[in-house]
Amino acid sequence: MKVAILMGSPNDASKMAPAAEMLDRFDVEHVTEVMSAHRTPAVVASFATGARDAGFAAVICGAGMAAHLAGVVAAHTTLPVIGVPLSGGLADGLDALLSTVQMPKGIPVATVAVNGSANAAVLVVEMLAVTDAELAARLDEFRAAGAR
C-alpha cells in the first residue's frame, strides 16, 4: 500500500516535505502530486475516485487559505483523508484550519495542526500499523525514542 501526498500549489512543497520525510523514515511508499481543488477540480476528483484502485491506502492533503483540497478528495473517496491546513492567508492559517476541519457529516477529514504534515504522516503510519505488525513495532520504537 502507498500513500498520496497532495498539495494545492508547488509553493506548498516545503511545508509538505516533512510528511514525505516521515513516511520515508517508516519505509512507507508514497507519491507527491500538486493538484488544486479550485484550478483543476476534475483532476482532483479523478485522482480521488481512482485512488483505491491505484493502490493507495490514505491521502494526505495540504492546502492553505480556502483549503478545500482535503474536502474535495474526501468527497470522492472512502480512503482515510488527512488534511494539513497550511499557513498564510487569514491569521496565518486559521482560515485553512477552519476550512479543513469543518466537514459535513459523513465526509470526514482527519485534521492536524497548521503546517503539521509530519503528524499527518505519523497518523497514516498509525492507521497502517493496525494490520502491519512490523510497522507497529517501528512505531513503538519511534515513540520510545521520543517521537522525533
Per the structure, the count of domains in the chain is 1
Question: Looking at residue 137, what is its pLDDT?
Answer: 98
Residue 41 three-state SS: helix
Question: Looking at residue 1, what is its pLDDT?
Answer: 85
User: What is the domain-level CATH number for residue 85?
Assistant: 3.40.50.1970
Domain holding 97, by residue range, is 2-144
Segment (H or E) for 36: none
DSSP 74-127: HHT--S-EEEEEESSTGGGTHHHHHHHH---TT---EE--TT-HHHHHHHHHHH
Residues in CB range of 138: below 8 A, 6 or more apart: 26, 27
Rounded CA-CA distance 38/126 in Å is 31
pLDDT tens figures, 24-60: 999 999 999 999 999 999 999 999 999 999 999 999 9
User: What pTM was estimated for this model as a whole?
Assistant: 0.97
**C-alpha cell belonging to residue 25:** 523514515
Q: Which carries the bigger pLDDT value, residue 57 or residue 148?
A: 57
Rounded CA-CA distance 14/47 in Å is 22
Average pLDDT, the chain: 97
